[in-house]
Chains A and B, each alone.
Chain A
């Protein structure tokens, strides 16, 4: 005899307890501290801050710990915390030209004012597993290497102008802002629902919070023929930038802190239109931390989403702002896909009934005089 399944409450409690145990792993192994995650998995922390839309390495590291290292789950934790925070105010626009540069590369000019600085990067490593890291103790010589990097390798770089502004002098590239263009207060899609078509500032906000993998694949597609992208990495810079805020009671800006940023400007061809001569155009990416892959993908998609305003045809998903912006958010995407794990008994029952009816009707039609044979014996 069937007994209605009760006990959802108990099942949930047990599931939480099991997850906590699994997260902790073997208790014979020392527990990972939030500070260790923050210090030693900084790139994971940066991704969580970007898509979680909160600049707080400690909370991002906590989220990663709580989520057993699952980036999307950690991002979700940080978002759900963010949503409860009051808005004290909005910062002044960041001046990335004044960035204290730690890394800066350009794919368009061999040498340029301020120079190219490789900085910390995996770019030219050979991807060979370093088995010395397997040993519990620190690899020999690692401390000395770290010290010498601190003392000898670090380069003091003055603030330097962006590469693309050099092209601007000849008028070869579009202005990032027209001379007569007034300051615009950007919208905030975490407060107001996005309405299409969305302006560029909102699109950039969406992309900055967007899923890194999604943007990477879309931008890859745009370079492989599913799009009209012929990009050059005009400049990529990483470093620290001061954040300023104007408190209402003071009326002048004060420094409230510093953030680590990665900024990318892409140069793209533009064949010109009736109104405009051929010229280079820009795609822009700006993200927290060391997140170059994300910054480049963002810049490429920013440019492909500008196709309409530049009079180009919308032919591919990466040029279609409704497609990109509606599906870029990993928290939403993960939520909706994972909701398929929820019960759908009722909908499925409705479909079962429907498909049985359709099948029996089609069998009746096909079998004609043989209609006495039922397709399914209903108990």
Chain B
């Protein structure tokens, strides 16, 4: 594929990419710290992945192979739209296979297949500030991060424990990176949080409207907040995937008829298809 005429490789001009790469490097140097950057308008709306796209555009090269997922799936409309955007503007190869991708841009999930050290995963982030819903002011949250003053979040989690007997945050579950900065993992289900800890792949986060970039370097500790007597735990299902039979992946609930009957299927479509293919192979 060739790239679109009239636009630079991967849409953004090289000056802008350099500015963004500098922000990424700073983010890698200070894991979990939100680096302000001169976010640009993208031809997609804010909240639809403009932050992730700017990061992807700044690190992508002609030899890269890009995978884009939304809710774990390659074929959701917004994932299709973003994948097409880079196929058009950068002319890069794209793939739906997790293992084949050198770059993975994602919204709301981490693939089930473990990532390797030669991969980069780029998260789309709507609200980069984990303390935003506790303290809406940027001037205040900046101070809280500087002083590592995260008591307010612990209190919020404690209030859940006091009311419900356990922590009632199910996605965008706050983490502490490298024992220093509190970070929003983006709205991934807390099911995915353990995958971030000491992940071999570089993790980059882009928030378009908030104009913030942050990063978790490979093999960095990412700890989900909890209490000694109420340890962090992830969702579990009693059901298995109706397509591949998986009993250990994140399952989406699908309503199948007017009576509200439902089945459960893997949210990670590539993982699910891979398991189906593997089970069919010996028979062929």
Name A residues whose Cβ lies closer than 8 Å to a Cβ of B: 2, 4-9, 11-12, 76, 79-80, 82-84, 86, 190-197, 322, 326, 331-332, 334-339, 342-347, 349-354, 358, 361, 378-379
Contacts and interface: CB of A to CB of B under 8 A. Distances in A.
Contact of B254 (A2, A337, A353): A2
Contacts of A79: 41
Contact of A331 (B41, B78, B254): B41
B265 interface: yes
The listed residue with most B CB atoms (<10 A of its CB), out of A334, A339, A343, A346, is: A346
Interface stretch (B56-64, B197-205, B256-264): B256-264
Contact of B80 (A4, A8, A192, A358): A8
Nearest to B137: A322
A308 to B, nearest CB: 12
A354 B262 contact: no
Nearest to A53: B41
A2 B41 contact: no
A12 B7 CA distance: 23
Nearest to A351: B170
Nearest to B42: A80
A4 B265 CA distance: 9
Interface of B: 7, 11, 13, 36-48, 50, 70-72, 75-81, 84, 107-109, 126, 136-139, 164-165, 168, 170-172, 187-191, 209, 211-212, 235, 237-238, 242-243, 250-254, 256, 261-263, 265, 267, 269, 272
B38 A4 contact: no
A336 B126 contact: yes
B189 A335 contact: no
B240 to A, nearest CB: 13
A211 to B, nearest CB: 13
Contacts of A379: 261-262
28 contacts: A2-B265, A4-B75, A4-B243, A4-B269, A80-B43, A83-B41, A86-B13, A190-B41, A193-B37, A193-B38, A193-B212, A195-B36, A331-B46, A335-B46, A336-B209, A338-B45, A339-B126, A342-B78, A342-B107, A343-B76, A346-B109, A350-B171, A350-B235, A351-B171, A352-B253, A354-B170, A358-B164, A361-B165
Given A346-B109, A353-B237, 20 more contacts: A2-B242, A2-B265, A4-B243, A4-B272, A11-B77, A82-B41, A84-B7, A335-B46, A335-B50, A338-B45, A339-B47, A339-B48, A339-B126, A343-B76, A344-B71, A346-B188, A347-B108, A347-B189, A350-B191, A358-B168
Contacts of A334: 45
B70 A361 contact: no
Contact of A343 (B41, B43, B50, B70): B70
A103 to B, nearest CB: 32
Contacts of B138: 196, 322, 326
B108 A332 contact: no
B45 A12 contact: no
A349 B189 contact: yes
Contacts of A83: 40-42
A12 B81 contact: yes
A344 B269 contact: no
A196 B246 CA distance: 49
Contacts of B43: 80
**Nearest 9 pairs of A and B residues by beta carbon:** A335-B45, A339-B47, A335-B46, A350-B170, A193-B211, A336-B47, A83-B41, A8-B80, A80-B43
Contacts of A346: 71-72, 108-109, 171, 188-189, 250, 252, 267
Nearest to A336: B47
